[in-house]
Structure 1
């Protein structure tokens, strides 16, 4: 029987990441943030009101960037030490203290953009000629001129930044600290339950009685917190609406898309085309799962199961390294050196412990190596998850090597392309090594259930739901639990049609995703995977030239727009074609699954 997770203190150190390269001790942390706070005050006194010409713009941005670089390790340390154990009082207090200091520092530094924005465009263009490394930053300020508020208002908003982040922190506290799950019963046995156990194990459980009982128990617990969580989320989205109105954007959607450097055309395309064009393929996949597992009906609780669970191998952390290295070796020696260091230098937190954040992520503090959080379940699909996060790591190792801090981070529209690229490279490698029908079916089903289901279905349906929420907020409405439940159920029923029964509790899925507190983030997963699918096909067909192009894209960091970055990799995302080609590819994979299943069933008979 699966067990509940131990407290963090009982986890072997080799399963945890090593944060000491960031900050050596708590004493160093508190001394350091106090020093940065003083540096910010001195910076304000030196430059506020004194940015009058191009040379001054260059000087202030030079010192501004250096100050931010100095702040990076403290931000990362406060966040990462809290993410692995949200029940730890010291970590909570440390994160809270950092948030307070960050708000003060942000308030002291808010004048930079305000004062630079007040200068003429001619002066700002002159500054870019003097210091081309600040061209992107300055051009962003020029574009934002129309939305810049009075300097004192900007200072006040910066001082309130930790308050604006409060809904996200409240959501995580409710989810990871206050929400305690009782054991559930199935087949006459009692089983433990928490967020990570449900999403990492019970959703994938092969026994239909256990799986559906876990879903019901999980949903019942979520329902107890739905009104508090909805109120928290409503606070978040109405705050975004207030800020968008204050700045003069036509809508909160336009406000959130502005920094992504894309317009509504690209945003709506991802949601509309996938909802209509991908749905028929995924309904066929759901029917195939139902047939293979001989289910009386296909419910929402059954969608994450493996097509061939008995064939899926279990894998250790040590074994995962071999798969990762072989699959990603096409990326070259430098990339392989990064992979080696990620294991040997403890960049990755593999532990399963109480209070740890769910899911997986990669944090890449500028000037330091990346950090990856994952809760290792020993299932083979974790190799895809780890390859994904190492894609983020490889992206920023390359970008940080070639770009300054202000030029290192691309638009969030593009941010998931390097991560999903690694999933595609893993899929390519596994398909190349497929030796029989059953193994090939397992590989293709893993691509569908892990890579495409997660990024093209789960996150895309989150995006469709999110768009409906923001439409209401733009119309001057607010949302509560009943409204959110109805929206989510409508989105799920629209996509799955009569192929899947959207059972009681499925509508509460909106409560599980932290991405809703990160702007218009969910749709970017399918956007990134659209790009990476096309580039991975180029790598298969063209080899090294396509790899070289991709490495150049990674190294470009944030110096190009998403359209330009995709173009560098040979993909034109201004048209429907890349997305339609990707959806067609998914359809082809599902057809292969159907054919392989028929072949396997015939051979068994």
Structure 2
């Protein structure tokens, strides 16, 4: 195996230019001292926030201090990610984390004190012209007020916090540390260890026996712990219903949607619209069966490669060129910013010894965003690059158009820009490909994204909704009941062409996201919103691009649902999901056509 280069051996052009954030360590230390001095000033506002002038000055201090801390924290941690073994940057990262906690504690009085104002006083603050730039912040505080309890009750709930994280902690320890899978046979017939990490590789094997054995080994292992795992999931559901009741919400689902001000119809529309389009999934499963050349399609066949391995070698330079071409529909302004990102060293490109794995986009307000990659010369890495640059340009446009406290977009919106870039890249690659093998490879790659990101995540979301509703109705969630709900959903989502193996009934037991309840639907809505945007941009051109750029510039200046609506994607209606389904239908049609020619 070739040795990874040391950080110092990586060419400068492939390293991000963090000097744009801080020229050197001395500059970082100076800003750190400035932040520490500001923390000392925070306490002088305590007890004075009923005065609009004092509240304005307090918000200004909060913004100034938060921005300093963000810059210090981002820089220290990005330096740490360049080489996680480097002791100086480990120390810098720890120092920035402590500063962040200290800042949170120093400013913790602000929200409770504002919320202790009478409704009349708070309304007067919202309408006060001197506080105009903080109107959205104050409106959001007022909206949350109905669910904030008395001081003593809030203190009690804060103390329960450590207890409430127990289900997730126990599941994590059980799933990651204590759970051991048996050995299974690989393609060569050798006995090898089965792990969480290797499981997906076994499912991607071309050998059906290998897939089946790994699948059964995983779910048999979970099955042996079904009572413990059901109790753990139950405890998490009980925690959610406790908090919902304590904070006066109608249900745990209502509570989880309230934070982002998402109407319940967004959640229910997603499930209902996907139900309506399940025949598309059934068609895709029939096609899978045909392409795999099997008489029966099993649950362990869902990740098996449908076409011969198609090796697309794409250098970083070629990836950048292709992405620039694919994003031409977004207009010259978008392309100019993208070029700047490519040319001005926003990106840390290649893997080096000690570098953090994976990929992300990050940055601090007031400086351009940054992207960390571990680039390989393949199709996957090209999609990762366009995905992360989608995040980066979303942050760039938001930061340039909004004041600091309105620039940060929510998780509900976070995956839209990145997924839109992927959709446009896929559209471009499919349009210019005339190689049947390449086209089949791309189409199956894209169809599987719909299957895993829209259909599967919606099925997860429906499972969460059902189990919480049952618990709220006073029903008990036994392991048998959880397994039956989950098994029946698989039968519904995959249809008559699929053999729904009994083992799959235990899959609920291995999904970590079920401990971050009612989160997974955002993957499906984000993907649908992005697909809807891409369809509008390709069909309408300039007017749709204008609306989309407006979305990128909105940051968090309004509620997520309103930001999308203004840009032409109304997630409170089924339309964006319908548009995504029409794209999925086109893909399946193309795949069926090419399969018939084979």
Inter-partner Cα distance in structure 2 for 1:154 and 1:92: 35
Q: Partner of 2:257: helix, strand, or coil?
A: helix
- Answering whether residue 73 of structure 2 is matched by residue 72 of structure 1, we say no
Offset at residue 446 of structure 1 (A): 2.3
2:52–2:131 Cα contact (<8 Å) kept: no
For 2:241, what is the secondary structure of its paired residue?
helix
Given that 1:566 and 1:572 are in contact with CA atoms closer than 8 Å, whether structure 2 keeps it comes out as yes
**1:540-590 residue CA offsets vs partner (Å, 9 max, x unmatched):** 123233222211111111123333322332233333233223323322321
Asked if the contact 1:114–1:150 (Cα under 8 Å) also holds between the matched residues in 2, the reply is no
The CA distance in 2 between the partners of 1:248 and 1:238, in whole Å, is 15
Q: Is the 8 A contact 1:460 1:526 kept in 2?
A: yes
- TM-score with structure 2 length normalisation? 0.81
Offset, 1:406: 2.3
Question: In terms of mean alpha carbon deviation, does 167-176 or 85-94 score higher?
Answer: 85-94
183-192 or 164-173: bigger deviation: 164-173
Question: After the TM superposition, which of the residue ranges 178-187 and 560-569 deviates more from structure 2?
Answer: 178-187
Give 1:467 deviation, angstroms.
1.5
2:187 pairs with 1:189: no
1:140 corresponds to: 140
Aligned counterpart, 2:424:
425
Are the counterparts in 1 of residues 464 and 517 from structure 2 also a CA contact under 8 Å? no
**1:308 maps to which residue?**
307
Residue in structure 2 matched with residue 298 of structure 1 by the alignment: 297
**CA 1:453–1:36: 2 relative to 1, 3 Å:** farther
- Give 5+ residue unaligned stretches, structure 1: none
Other-structure match for 1:566: 564
Which range is displaced more, 406-415 or 30-39? 30-39
1:140 CA drift (Å): 0.5
Counterparts of 1:20-31 in structure 2, within 5 Å, are none
Query: Structure 1 residues 204, 81: CA separation in 2 closer, same or farther (over 3 Å shift)?
Result: farther
8 Å Cα contact 1:55/1:127 also seen in 2: no
Stretch moving more, 362-371 or 205-214: 362-371
When normalised by structure 1's length, the TM-score is 0.81
How many residues in Structure 1 have an aligned counterpart in Structure 2?
592
User: SS of the counterpart of 2:185?
Assistant: strand
Deviates more, 1:217-226 or 1:110-119: 217-226
Is the CA contact 2:528–2:577 (under 8 Å) kept in the aligned structure 1? yes
Matches within 5 A, 1:153-302: 153-154=153-154, 184-187=184-187, 188-190=189-191, 194-199=195-200, 201-219=201-219, 233-274=233-274, 276-302=275-301
- 1:48/1:111 contact within 8 Å kept: yes
3-state SS of the aligned residue for 1:416? helix
Q: CA deviation at 1:311?
A: 3.3
- What is the CA-CA distance between 1:372 and the residue it aligns to? 5.4
Q: Distance in 2 between matches of 1:405 and 1:381?
A: 34
Q: Does the CA contact (< 8 Å) of 2:15 and 2:345 recur in 1?
A: no
The change in CA–CA distance for 1:123 and 1:567 in structure 2 (over 3 A counts) is: same
CA shift for structure 1 position 413: 3.2
Pairwise CA RMSD of aligned residues?
Answer: 4.6
Task: Confirm or deny: 8 A CA contact 1:571 1:578 kept in the other structure.
Answer: yes
Deviation per residue, 1:131-152 (Å, 9 max, x gap): 3321211111111121122245
Does the residue aligned with 1:184 lie in a helix, a strand or coil? strand
1:503 corresponding residue in structure 2: 501
Given that residues 176 and 355 in structure 1 are in contact (C-alpha distance below 8 angstroms), is that contact kept between their aligned partners in structure 2?
A: no
Q: Is the 8 A contact 1:183 1:191 kept in 2?
A: yes
Cα distance, 1:268 vs structure 2: 0.8
CA distance in 1, matches of 2:71, 2:445: 37
Question: Which residue in the other structure is 1:49 paired with?
Answer: 47
Matched residue, 1:488:
486
Aligned CA distance change for structure 1 residues 16 and 335 (closer, same or farther; 3 Å): same
More moved, 259-268 vs 334-343: 334-343
**1-structure distance, mates of 2:212, 2:3:** 25
Deviation of residue 462 (structure 1)?
Answer: 1.8
Give deviations 1:132-187, integer Å, cap 9, x for gaps: 32121111111112112224554665687677667656655665666676763134
1:387-412 alpha-carbon deviations (Å, 9 max, x no partner):
33332222122212222332123343
Q: CA deviation at 1:319?
A: 4.6
- Separation of aligned partners in 1, 2:106 and 2:68: 15
**Conserved 8 A contact 1:361-1:372:** yes
Q: Which moved more, 1:81-90 or 1:63-72?
A: 81-90
CA contact (8 A) 1:286 1:500 kept: yes
> 2:263–2:572: 8 Å Cα contact kept in structure 1?
no
The alpha-carbon deviation at position 459 of structure 1 amounts to 1.7
Query: Could you tell me how far 1:266 is from its partner in structure 2?
Result: 1.4
Structure 2 unaligned regions, length at least 5? none
Q: Judge conservation of contact 1:259–1:411 (CA < 8 Å) in 2.
A: no
Deviates more, 1:562-571 or 1:11-20: 11-20
The structural deviation recorded for 1:255 is: 1.0
1:271 and 1:120, CA in 2 relative to 1: closer, same or farther beyond 3 A? same
Classify 1:214/1:325 alpha carbon distance in 2 versus 1 (closer, same or farther; 3 Å).
farther
1:62 corresponds to which of 53, 60, 63: 60
Contact 2:491/2:500 (<8 A) preserved = yes
Deviations 1:272-295 (A, max 9, x none): 221x12321111111111111112
Separation in 2, partners of 1:178, 1:6:
33
* Distance in structure 1 (CA, Å) of the matches to 2:108 and 2:475: 31
Q: Secondary structure at the match of 1:257?
A: helix
Q: Deviations over 1:286-316 (max 9, x none)?
A: 1111111112421222213343233353555
In 1, Cα distance between the equivalents of 2:483 and 2:26? 46
Structure 2 match to 1:403: 402
- 1:436-488 residue CA offsets vs partner (Å, 9 max, x unmatched): 444433333222112x1232122222211222232244345675766544443
Q: Is the 8 A contact 1:408 1:556 kept in 2?
A: yes
Residue number among 523, 526, 529 corresponding to 1:528 in the alignment: 526
Aligned pair partner of 2:453 in 424, 448, 455: 455
Contact 2:270 2:574 in 1 (8 A): no
